[in-house]
Amino acid sequence: MSSGRISSWTRFKLPAKSLGPHLFKPLAAGNNDRLHDAYYGSIAEANDEHMLVVIWESREDFAAYKDSAQYHELISNLKADTTSTEPSTHIVDFDKIAFWWRFGPNTEIRTVYFPALIPSKTRDAVTRLKGLVLTMGIGIDGSKAHFSPYNGVPTCGWAEGSQIWMNQDTVACLWCHYWKDREVEEKFKLTETRPPRDGEEDKILILEAFERDLKSCGALGWEDIHVDFKKVPKSA
């Protein structure tokens, strides 16, 4: 069962120089009881594209906000002008996982697409995957945390509704990986291996293993972005 909290993920396009907490004043105004937290940041792989993630106290709180004047003001702020493409928002349910706690300057978001009629048992199997974390390397007392390339274990949430990918209806999940920086991420993906499982002759790269696991669950494909997340002040 979900904790009741729900997250909205809004992708929008603005000149990078225009990005700042001032854009989100309509979000902060009068909504402190509705929203738990909010984060924003630029997408490294897309020029002038950004992401706003809001954690709402409940599904009803998000629905009420969408009917408010502040919501329309916020959407207007996230457009360069009246001819700009509308910001795109998806609701993602991470159940009881506080996925936003480790948002930072090199958060990787992998959106994985599956056939629209994916059974619930397959969803559960995908959620149980471990992502790219092989070992945390922190020791029993956490004294070796600085050796780890990431700030915590990955998290997985499911987007609600259908998603169009490669001209077909799909459903999608989002995997969040919390890398300390791009250099250690790239080194990890190029060198870290997973011990062989039954039927495997040799160790394989952990990245390849994760992608094999996704495909075995029926994944059609995925897209990766990196976001430099910053917290939206409650009084933006």
Q: What are the Cα distances from residue 106, in Å, to 150, 186, 203, 225, 226?
A: 10, 12, 28, 10, 6
Structure tokens at 48: 């002038």
Half-sphere exposure at residue 152, Cβ-oriented, CA atoms within 13 angstroms = 14
**Domains contained in the chain, CATH given:** 6-98 (3.30.70.100), 106-227 (3.30.70)
Residues contacting residue 122 through CB under 8 Å, at least 6 positions apart:
114, 217, 218
Q: Is the pLDDT of residue 236 over 70?
A: no
pTM (2 decimals)?
Answer: 0.91
Is pLDDT of 136 > 60?
no
Residues 77-129 have pLDDT tens digits of 999 887 778 899 999 999 989 999 999 999 999 999 999 999 999 999 999 99
Whether the CA torsion 27, 32, 34, 35 is positive or negative: it is positive
